[in-house]
Structure 1
Amino acid sequence: MYIKNIQVLDHIRGEAASFDFSYGVNLITSLENGQGKSSIIKSIMYALGFDVKKFPNGWNYQSYEYRITLDFNGSVHTVKRINSTKRGYFFIDDTKDALTTIEFSNWLQKQLGLSMKLPEKDGSLGIANTTALLVPFYLDQDSSWSGILYKNTSNALNMYDEAMTKILEYYLGISSKELLNLEEREERTKRELEPLKSRLKAFEGIDELKSIQDYTIDFGFDPDDLVRESNRLVKNVNALLRKLRTYSQMRIAKLAELNDAREQLSAVNELIKFNRAALLGRKKEFENASNIEWQKNVIRQQFRLEDDFRNLGAIKQTLDIKIKQITVDVAGIWKAKEALVEEIENRKSILKNSQMLKNIDDYVNRKSRYEATQILLHKRNDTQNAVIVKEAELKGLQLDIRRKRKGLNKRKLSLASEYNGRISEFLRQLNFNSNSTKLPFLKIQTVKGSGSSNSADYFVHYIAYFALLSEAFKNISLSMPFLIDSFIKNETSTNNIQGLFDILFEELTKYTGQSFVSLIQENLKYIPNYDEFNMVQIPVPIMDKKTYQELEQ
């Protein structure tokens, strides 16, 4: 991968910066510190999807648009990063479909011919994010010189387990795709085995039930007879309950009839009362009649009222008799119902206390217990067989992993020897004593120490790994840009500075890929023949309106 150009646009202020780069070594220079060298180095990494831990003050990176032009062996693409969300979105060339960080990592790996996967905290293998892809090729002036080697450069590595060791193993060719797949299958099998073992443990108490046999047990009776007798008792109780429902319905009907009769009686009583008042009125009217015809008419009305009174009296008597009879009927039904309820309760009590029923219950309970136990035993056996199969599968995978690692171990030992040799040689060139920290190969830890000598200790470890990667890439035709930002910021000794530059540029000139080094112009004196490299001078101010207008045309 070769970076041809980086553009940074501030759409709010209408300003932009644009820089072209060449293959080989690119020197990012400025007259003084604080003029934007680190901002450009960090912007390159950020445009490539790297999770940059810290930008210089005043560089409002989240509000900018980044455009970076990449060349993959002649296939040129422009990547645009716009922070429409916190995680950012990536656009490839002129496509309108945005890619997330992990989707962009997939695209980038495809262009590079990589397939890096890393073990996550839950043990599963996940596609490596862009920070993981790029972290061995970036030294940050703010965070690379303290804390754990490489890991302190970005927080995006925290999601992985032993991230840097796995990343370096992958690039150095001591962790093959086949081995990664075996390790992924191993972790998946372990996750599948865990719940099976937990389930098997839950079946431990079932062993005491193994003695339960199929219950065709001699209780001194025929279970079928017991079932028939039980059914007869149940039928009797059900018949009584049906009869009880009939009594209840009869009682409800009688009570409705009683209510109707009482309403009729109430109406008759009202009519009698009215008739009596009318008859009394006619008698008074007769006494006051002034002629014979009127008296005759009153007498006729009086006779009719007396007939009505006698008829109403007869109806009332009939209703009284009917009400008394219905009341007697209701009382009889209620009494019969109470007796029936008592009989039902007696039958239920007999059924409940029946030895036959107890024997049936015992039989059914024991039979059910046996059948349930058999189901559990079958499930336990199935689970046990599944555990055996999974454990055998896991052992086979672990054996394959050991064999594969053994095949890669020879190369690992050779790389460790070369790594240790380079560390020692670099320290010798710097005239550092034997007390300098030397981390074992692939032991990614904090480099203990303090002051400028501690920064140099970090430096020799980074360059030792870079040298190994540089050699490894020659065999696989892989090229990654290497960026180093102000690596002598804390150095005070002129001799040490010269030694650090000598070590760095000896390795950079041997590197077949692209590299970037930021420094102030004053330090160019430490680089022999620096004018042979591509010089990128940072203007002041770093962004301007003219560049923005040119880019947006």
Structure 2
Amino acid sequence: MKKLLLKSMLLVSHEEKKALEIKFDPDVTLIQGANDTGKSSVIKTLFWTFGAEPPKIHRSWKAADIASLVEFKIDEDKYFIYRHRRSFSLFSGGGHLLGSYESVTNELGPALAKLFGFNLKITNREGIQETPPPAYMLLPFYIDQDKGWSGTWCSFNRLGQYANWKQTLTSYFLGLRPDQWYALNAKIKLLDEEKNEPLRQLKSIESIEFKAIQELSSVDFNIDLSEFKKDVDKLVLKCNELEKNQAQYKQKISEARTEEVRLKAQIEIVIHTREELDSDYAYAQSSLGSSVDCPTCGAEYENSFSERFAIAQDAETCTDLLSSLREDLAQVKKHIASIEDELKKDFLRQSEIEEILSRKRGKLKVKDLIDIEGKKSLLEHLKTEAKEIKAYLGELERHQAEAKESADKFDDPERRKTIVETYGERFEVNARKLQVTGLSEHVFKNVNASIDESGSDLPRAVLAYYFAVVSLIVEGKDGVNFPLVIDAPNQQEQDKGNLYNILDFIVKNRPKNSQLVVGLVDDANVYFPGKRILLNKKYAALESGEYLELSKKIRHFEVAHMSGASE
């Protein structure tokens, strides 16, 4: 695994003639200051420089029109990344321009992914495999002040551009499958995309070929009776092939209809179950006291919040399942419609072929003979072209099969089970240390589970989750170990005891061999090793007295960035 180490961050506002430079400690950096001193804006800008957009940036910080430069190391190699507004530049440690980028998704994302060793590809909503933007690479390593404490994997904006991205991302980062599997899986899907154009060409060739044969049939195929017989035999063979296809299509439709009936039945069961749970919850909420007597055995059972919450959770699970089943049903219906459409096309082509076969031979003219020879030549050319395309498709399918065989070797169910169990154990231990005791069992067994807590327990549960996840990432062999950045851990008015516990937990349980950056107001007398950066002025994180010196320091990068060429 590659380790990324933050060295420094330089912020310059030519608009306000102010600047700030922060030098990070290789172990722990504490950015401390009262409210409104700009510490969160500084921390947000760190990720903003790498192309990850935080949920909120203060309007006055935006108005300052800040240019930022972050110096970092990946293992032993040093780099700089520069951002101003919506454009970026990446530099070597010697200040030589490696590349300038205007698009985060199409340009910066792939460049950073290559640098970080981030091999994950995600299918976008157009069905194309692509490297996700930097926000997806940095999500596990940042808890944002404004949104990050409300749940997991939510500290950046614009995360909805991919469907089911969270499950893919957690699986990748936790190493449920190794990096090699994701690289091979991306190759398989890329080969799938490469097949689309040849398949389209092949379908077009078959259409042109069929039309040419149709036109030939209006006069005759050939004055040579033996050649004519060959052409007729070819049509009969094609007709038989279409009949065989129709039988296969009918079989597929039958299977899909069976799946449709099965899904509809499951949906009915889930709807009925959810209605029963809703009734149980309403009854427990309004009609029962704090305890319930069993009419059979006389035992007394609690009707506490946790019992009612469990019912509500089951209902929520039913709702999620119902949504998933309805999506599956829609896909099945779409699949049936697609097969039926192909079946209709086959029926039409079969009818046309049968009509051609039933025609009588007419009189031949010289023009007809010329047309026949031209169309025969076209058919030979199309046959050759189709053969080449089929050979190319065969090569692609062979490469796909080889990639799949290799990928299967890296797909180890036992490995996945072990990792999930380790995640659950660590999450549970962390939760106990942070005195979060109400979490349900399923959150320890599912790496994608939503954290079902509220009030002051929620941020502590979120912290316990992140530390479990990051510890596994850091111990993995693939990807990059980015510094863990935690902003404003005192959420939901934690009492003094909980605040001390939170900060003490962060210091003592930070992942080994991982840099830590923490932004906070009050350290609760917890000892933080490393460097402490104090921001003392209200609404003024940047200093006017630093502007001249720091603006000179950033000028080389600004000039190279604007020119688009290294000096």
TM value normalised by structure 1: 0.61
Find the partner of 2:7 among 4, 9, 28.
4
Structure 1 position 87 matched with structure 2 position 87 = yes
Pairwise CA distance, 1:362: 5.4
**Structure 1 gap segments, 5+ residues each:** 219-355
Answer with 394-403 or 89-98: which moved more: 89-98
| Counterpart code for 2:512 | Y
Find the partner of 1:36 among 35, 38, 54.
38
Going from structure 1 to structure 2, the CA distance change for 1:477 and 1:538 (only over 3 Å counts) comes to: same
| Counterpart code for 2:28 | V
C-alpha contact 1:172 1:468 (8 A) present in aligned 2: yes
SS at match of 2:54: coil
Alpha-carbon distance in structure 1 between the residues aligned to 2:50 and 2:393: 46
Pairwise CA distance, 1:57: 4.0
Name the structure 2 match of 1:536.
Answer: 533
SS at match of 2:456: helix
Alpha-carbon distance in structure 2 between the residues aligned to 1:361 and 1:21: 86
Q: For each residue in 1:191-242, what CA deviation from the matched residue of structure 2 results, as whole angstroms up to 9, or x when unmatched?
A: 2333444555563894997998643259xxxxxxxxxxxxxxxxxxxxxxxx
Q: For each residue in 1:38-81, what CA deviation from the matched residue of structure 2 results, as whole angstroms up to 9, or x when unmatched?
A: 01211222233433332134212771122333244555444433
Pairwise CA distance, 1:515: 0.5
Structure with bigger helix share is: 1
| 1:262-411 map, 5 Å | 359-360=365-366, 373=379, 376=382, 379=385, 383-384=389-390, 386-406=392-412, 409-411=413-415
Equivalent pairs counted in the alignment come to 400
C-alpha contact 2:67 2:83 (8 A) present in aligned 1: yes
Structure 1 position 513 matched with structure 2 position 510 = no
C-alpha contact 2:118 2:137 (8 A) present in aligned 1: no
Name the structure 1 match of 2:419.
Answer: 415
Structure 1 position 471 matched with structure 2 position 468 = no
C-alpha contact 1:67 1:80 (8 A) present in aligned 2: yes
Q: Which has the larger radius of gyration?
A: 1
SS at match of 1:53: coil
Alpha-carbon distance in structure 2 between the residues aligned to 1:97 and 1:189: 30
Alpha-carbon distance in structure 2 between the residues aligned to 1:55 and 1:371: 68
Name the structure 2 match of 1:432.
Answer: 437
Alpha-carbon distance in structure 2 between the residues aligned to 1:137 and 1:431: 22
Structure 1 position 189 matched with structure 2 position 197 = no
SS at match of 1:154: coil
SS at match of 1:23: coil
SS at match of 2:400: helix
Name the structure 2 match of 1:68.
Answer: 70
Going from structure 1 to structure 2, the CA distance change for 1:215 and 1:455 (only over 3 Å counts) comes to: farther
Answer with 193-202 or 63-72: which moved more: 193-202
Alpha-carbon distance in structure 1 between the residues aligned to 2:97 and 2:395: 49
Find the partner of 2:138 among 125, 134, 140.
134
Pairwise CA distance, 1:184: 2.7
Pairwise CA distance, 1:421: 0.8
Alpha-carbon distance in structure 2 between the residues aligned to 1:478 and 1:376: 51
Pairwise CA distance, 1:392: 4.4
Alpha-carbon distance in structure 2 between the residues aligned to 1:512 and 1:151: 25
Pairwise CA distance, 1:416: 0.9
Alpha-carbon distance in structure 1 between the residues aligned to 2:201 and 2:99: 45
Pairwise CA distance, 1:542: 2.1
SS at match of 1:488: coil
Answer with 481-490 or 492-501: which moved more: 492-501
Name the structure 2 match of 1:318.
Answer: none
SS at match of 1:59: helix
SS at match of 1:420: helix
CA RMSD of aligned residues (A): 3.9
| Counterpart code for 1:500 | I
Pairwise CA distance, 1:134: 2.2
Find the partner of 2:17 among 14, 17, 31.
14
